[in-house]
Amino acid sequence: MILLADSGSTKTDWWLTENGKVVREIKTVGFNPYYVTSEKMAEVLKKDFFGKLDPQKTEKVYFYGAGCSSPSKKAVIEKGLRMIFGEAHIEADHDMLAAARALFGNNKGIACILGTGSNSCLYDGKDIAESLFSLGYMFGDEGSGAHLGKTYIAKHLKNRIPEEIKEAFDEHYGLSHEEILTTLYQQPNPNRFLASFTRFLKKQLDHTFVFQLVENCFDEFFEEQVSKFTGYQSLPFGCIGSIGFHFKKVLLLSAKKYGVKPETFQISPMQGLLEFHCMK
């Protein structure tokens, strides 16, 4: 059996597979090596996996997650998994590589993640050949849910939006300016708070103001990220994540401006990883 994992800082999706088919899906908390120890990870997994899978029958474990970008951080995850799966073949790697493999398999392409945050890379069919240093939602994450939300909220707080959009927002959320600022500056995970407003933007996407705001954010994504990769216009482009998937029609317009060739959009990398690791 082969176990696949796609992990963020808050949740992890696990697929237990046999002969290329998914036999069980399990959800646990996320495991980011910047915030969790190997021992704590093993402690949590022992409880969450109990009665759901047999570690002795699991031959390979492929874990992809946020924060697994250096040998030392990968080692934290691999050690935690080793405490559960003993002699199984275990690999931990970055979620950007998961996206690239899920989108393109063994072929070249420009892979990106557009969810709460954003990231992108040039994939050579085996490894990440070119990548950009992520600056997070404060200074980067162009095209992400946090970026879309931040762009809208800035205009909302400055009263620079159409009255009908403001009224719809106030009716939907009932948040005062003070409540928004307090949440942003005094509560944890402000990037998730900002990204939560993309649900509203999706509902209002037919409004010219909202459509243009979203398009401008995607233009920034292509300008600041995708266009920096060698030969980006000659390679297929693929996207993993809810923002790219649900705002696809706007993203396609921005892609066209930059001569980018979109090929595939997926919410999750899991199906692509299943094909990459289990159906060779």
Query: Would you give the DSSP letter of residue 107?
Result: S
pLDDT band, very low/low/confident/very high, at 30 (cuts 50, 70, 90): confident
Q: 244 and 123, same structural domain? A: yes
| CATH code for the domain of 221 | 3.30.420.40
- Are residues 129 and 206 located together in one domain of the fold? yes
β-sheet bridge partners, residue 92: 63
49 half-sphere exposure, CB direction, 13 A CA radius: 22
Q: Categorize the per-residue pLDDT at 280 as very low, low, confident or very high, splitting at 50, 70 and 90.
A: low
In a domain, 160, yes or no: yes
CA–CA separation, 51 vs 49, rounded Å? 6
The answer to whether residue 48 sits within a structural domain is yes
Domain coverage including residue 61: 2-87
Residues 10 and 49 in one domain: yes
In this structure, the answer to whether residues 131 and 260 fall within a common structural domain is yes
Q: Is 279 domain-assigned?
A: no
Do 71 and 207 belong to one domain? Answer: no
| Residues 69, 130 share a domain | no
Do both 80 and 192 map to the same domain?
Answer: no
Asked if the structure places residue 195 within a domain, the reply is yes
Domain total of the chain: 2
Q: Are 214 and 148 in contact (CB under 8 A)?
A: yes
Residue where one domain finishes, among candidates 31, 58, 87: 87
126, part of any domain: yes
Q: What would the mean pLDDT of 4-16 be, rounded to a whole number?
A: 88
- Of 25-34, 203-212, 233-242, the one with minimum mean pLDDT is 25-34
Residue 61 and residue 112 share a domain: no
| Structure token digits, residue 5 | 């994992």
Asked if 269 contacts 99 with a C-beta cutoff of 8 angstroms, the reply is: yes
3-state secondary structure of 127: coil
Q: Tell me: do 123 and 54 sit in the same domain.
A: no
Asked if residue 55 belongs to a domain, the reply is yes
Helix ranges restricted to H, 38-118: 38-49, 71-85, 95-104
Same domain membership, residue 230 and residue 117? yes
Domain boundary among 22, 56, 87: 87
| Whether 120 and 255 share a structural domain | yes
| Cα–chain center distance at 240 | 7
Same domain, 42 and 166: no
pTM: predicted TM-score of the whole model, two decimal places: 0.88
* Residue at 148 is within a domain: yes
The first and second tokens of residue 274, run together, are 């299943």
pLDDT, tens digit, for every residue of 112-167?
999 888 999 999 999 999 998 776 667 768 999 999 999 999 999 999 999 999 99
CB 5 within 8 A of CB 268: no
Residue 273 within any structural domain of the chain: no
Mean pLDDT across the chain, nearest whole number?
A: 92
- Distance, CA of 149 to CA of 16 (rounded, Å): 35
pLDDT (tens digit per residue) in 241-275: 999 999 999 999 999 999 998 989 999 999 999 99
pLDDT of residue 89: 95
